[in-house]
Amino acid sequence: MSLDGWNTLLVLGGIRSGKSEFAESLVADAPTVRYLATAADPGDDPEWAARLAAHRARRPETWSTEETATDPRRLADVISTARPEDTLLVDDLGGWVTVLLDPAHQPADDNATVDELAAAVRFCAARLVLVSPEVGLSLVPTTPLGRAFTDALGAVNRAVADACDTVVLVVAGQPCRLKPAVGQPTGAAEASPAAVAAPGQQAAGGATVPAQAGPAGELPVTASPPLPGSPPVTTPQVTAGPDTVGTGGTAPTRTLPMAATDLVIQPGMELPMPDEYAGPQAVERLAGLDVPGTGLGALEQVVSFAAATQGTPTPTPWRSVRVLLVHGDHAGGVAAGTVTGESARRAEQARAGQGVLARLAAESGASLQVVDAPAAAPIEHGPALDAEQVESALRYGWRLAEEAADAGVQLLVLAACGAGAEATAAAVLAATAGAEPSAVLARVVTAGGEIDDVAWMARCAAVRDALHRTRRSSRNGVGVLAELGGGDIAVATGILLGATAGRLPVLLDGPVGVAAGLISRDLAGQARHWCLLADDGGHPAVRLAADVLGLDPLTQLRLDLGEGANALTVLPLLRSALALSAALPSRPEGDDSEDEGGEPGPVEEAEPDFHEPEPEGPGPTTTAPAAEPAETSAARAG
């Protein structure tokens, strides 16, 4: 059983399709499995009894079986109370619907019971596989009871499929993915919600879809075409050897699309906030975990953030991560000291699965999407973009985040590469937070590791001239993007807003990300609460912007691997903290070796049994008294 592919999975299939055998193979490697049997007693039906006996015979001895047919609500209770270390297999939902419709359990609110089951599946902490018959492909039954069953089972399948990370349809023993997994195996492309082309066939856009074989019991993985108007999403693989940009591996550059939507991005938007109670509850729960030391330290912030954004006091590690690399160059003095074409080379590396960012994404099992933003004009002479370009870039970024949420992504990592991006971010910070440009502009370092003070002064001059030119311009978010920000920061801002609308957390680590955070704060104040700062890299602009946004860097490693790569370097540590917080048991009750504060309690010292000797006869004496029996001494002490 792969630990990286999925957490909750629904297996659909017709009669004798092999759906149960496939579901059992997915959990075959688990040390123990809780098998939840939903079928009612077969009574005097020998054929049905034989089917149940065949299912029991296939189960390993390490599996435990729990019957849930007595009460339809029991299944949701078992799923919702399962622990993170549990593995559950429910076979099947058809039997559960049969019990639900049984007159013995009526009258009842069946819709509420189905909603309870779907909610339990959605927030299940354990690994969960559910099996259900697919009856929607057959003819409409001719009897009222048959129609009631198929209608109810269809509604249940839809509700559970929506709650699950992954949905698979088994036809003639062959599993077909219907819904993309929360996390993909290394080297696999994320599946689109649309139909996936068969191996060897041509997908949309003319690309041939190669098949990739996986271990027994894992889903077959096929590469899917990108959504129309969006850059391709790839999952880099870990490869050996020097970095080379191969021919034929580069996706064509796409023009920035206009999102066909009525969405209006403007200041004062009301977007969702994370759960205000789950974070403190998660931190309180950490205090009771059975750990030998004082706990997770600064990483408690990660657990609190994940709990608030996931809406549960027991958050789970982010299994599906997507890196959005925004590539956009800036002309003029802000790009002084950069090598012409260097940012485009970095973007091409990422598309080909090479370079630092792609390699770190491969190690983390993250998918990677390279986004080309419109180039910005010199800000010292005029606006970086016109109003139409800003609106299009904001909608485009929103759409990218929306697509990621629809694909089951649980965490976005915002990366950026572009000539002049750092200086432009400093200009945005100066315009929105009143910072002095020279204080937030990092020193310019050449490829040979030397400090280029001339280039740094040219960048300072360009930013100062741009701020002077726009001194009477509007300082609202859209206005700052048009005058100073440019295409990359505009797209990044749209990504943050779209992620907030989709309740999708974002990991930041560089100047473009925090500059977008400052702009999004003006458009929707809730956006910053969905952002987490992995490391400030020692960058002065990132440090100041983080302080303005109220973001504390999780680490102080002073990493300088490129925006996005710093966050991917820290990501395994964050996942480990979440995995520990979810899996560790509570401290045993009655353990009073330490007080509630974690410090040893005061030790009371016994008073010495000291008796001053009594004088014998008149006057002082130096003669020690004779030893008296223990009984006499005890009596006198009493």
Q: Which two tokens stand for residue 169?
A: 């349809």
Cα separation of 283 and 300, whole Å?
Answer: 7
pLDDT of residue 565 exceeding 50: yes
DSSP-H helix ranges across 407-452:
421-433, 437-440
For residue 197, the model assigns a pLDDT of 36
pLDDT of residue 256 exceeding 50: no
DSSP-H helix ranges across 365-510:
387-406, 421-433, 437-440, 453-469, 477-480, 486-501
pLDDT band at 5 (very low <50, low <70, confident <90, very high): low
Comparing 568 with 184, the larger pLDDT belongs to 568
pLDDT band at 416 (very low <50, low <70, confident <90, very high): very high
* Residue that has been written with the tokens 């303005």 in this structure: 548
Tens digits of per-residue pLDDT, 160-196? Answer: 999 998 899 999 889 998 886 434 443 333 333 333 3
Cα separation of 461 and 386, whole Å?
Answer: 23
250: burial class by Cβ within 10 Å (0-12, 13-18, 19+)? middle
Cα separation of 214 and 177, whole Å?
Answer: 14
Please state whether beta strands 221-222 and 211-212 pair in parallel, antiparallel, or not at all (unpaired). antiparallel
From first CA to last CA, the distance across the chain in angstroms is 71
Cα separation of 416 and 324, whole Å?
Answer: 8
For residue 32, the model assigns a pLDDT of 87
Tens digits of per-residue pLDDT, 283-311? Answer: 988 888 888 887 888 889 999 999 999 99
Cα separation of 351 and 494, whole Å?
Answer: 22
Cα separation of 430 and 541, whole Å?
Answer: 9
pLDDT band at 536 (very low <50, low <70, confident <90, very high): confident
Cα separation of 139 and 416, whole Å?
Answer: 53
- Active-site positions? 563
Tens digits of per-residue pLDDT, 421-438? Answer: 999 999 999 998 888 888
pLDDT of residue 202 exceeding 80: no
- Tell whether the torsion through CA atoms of 524, 383, 333 and 490 is positive or negative: positive
pLDDT band at 625 (very low <50, low <70, confident <90, very high): very low
